[in-house]
Amino acid sequence: MALVNFSQKVKSELVRVKPSHKECKKAELYGLIQTAGVLNISTKGPSLEIKTENAALARKVVSLYKELSQGKTMLVVEKETKLKKRNLYRIRSEVGQIDSVFSQTVVENILDKNVPKLQEECCRRSYLRGLFLGSGSLQNPEKTYHLEIRIADKVFAERLQEYLNEIAPPLKFGLVERRNEYLLYLKDGESIAVFLTMTQAHRSLLEMENIRIIKEMKNNVNRLVNCEDANIDKTVTASLKQLRAIETLDAQGILSKMPKSFQEVAKIRKQNFDASYLKIGQLLGISKSAVSYRLKKIEKEAEKISQLSRTDKTDSE
């Protein structure tokens, strides 16, 4: 059985959404025609064709035509010539039939890509759903956030971008040209979530939100681990420096002459190489700041000895 990708899941859900009002049905069909419709001219007259590999979408298109028009709609099923040999569905309707549905000419208002003026929010949602069903795709959010709608015509792509970025809430689609096509795209999870909500892909939205939560948790864990690793490295580096200072003072007989409190800190540091200041303080019954002060004092005394040693070496040369 072929695996269903996330984009196919979203479309399968959107196909099952049934617009309740006639104007919403028109808006969804309008979006489908604009992104997947092709005008054919033959001896029988002009016809409009929508091509898809999605059987459920083909049934939906036929259903919308039947609900909105009394004309005939032809559904043709073909086998692809590619290796996978999947079914290809072609839905054909006479141009006159489409004109009667929209009260507009197909060529001037749909295939010439004028963005429809939709007053009601439910109609705008249906139109977005039609656009995505016609030529949209959504990558698996486990990998990346990327939704796009492919547009063949540059002028229409620019008009559609302006329209999408002005509706409420604005979606902020980007636009890029790729292989003689124009891609309207969203690349952040928040905007894609808004789009899924508007098109009524609620189940897909929940799945994506679950993935987003898990990804965010993983990122937070990774940040904490990296932070902890950095702190461990910092502690180890500081400990090595302190141990060298303790050894220097011990070798010169200076450590034994220092106050007992400094000797105790030095002893605990040697016994607990990777212990934090807090841990050392707990072992000695003193504060972190007291531990820090005493160890820094030991380092300064060792540095004085090192400087004297370097000075003596320079003088002898």
Once rounded to an integer, what is the mean pLDDT over residues 237-264? Answer: 86
Domains of the chain in start order, with CATH, are: 8-200 (3.10.28.10), 216-316 (no CATH)
The predicted pLDDT at position 104 comes to 58
From the list 232, 246, 244, the residue with the least C-alpha distance to 275 is: 232
The predicted pLDDT at position 229 comes to 65
The CA distance from 227 to 231, in Å, is 6
The CA distance from 140 to 269, in Å, is 51
How much of the chain is helix, strand and coil, in % rounded to 5?
A: 60, 15, 25
pTM: 0.68
The predicted pLDDT at position 127 comes to 94
Other Cβ atoms less than 10 A from the Cβ of 286: the count is 17
First to last CA, the chain: 84
Cβ-Cβ contacts under 8 Å for 266 (sequence gap 6 or more): 246, 249, 250, 255, 298
Cβ-Cβ contacts under 8 Å for 276 (sequence gap 6 or more): 235
Q: Is the pLDDT assigned to residue 1 strictly greater than 50?
A: no
Place 2 in a pLDDT band, splitting at 50, 70 and 90. Answer: very low
Q: Is the pLDDT assigned to residue 317 strictly greater than 60?
A: no
> Taking all residues of the chain, what is their mean pLDDT, rounded to a whole number?
84
Angle, alpha carbons 223-228-229 (nearest 5°): 100
Contact 37, 98 (CB under 8 A): no
The CA distance from 192 to 196, in Å, is 6
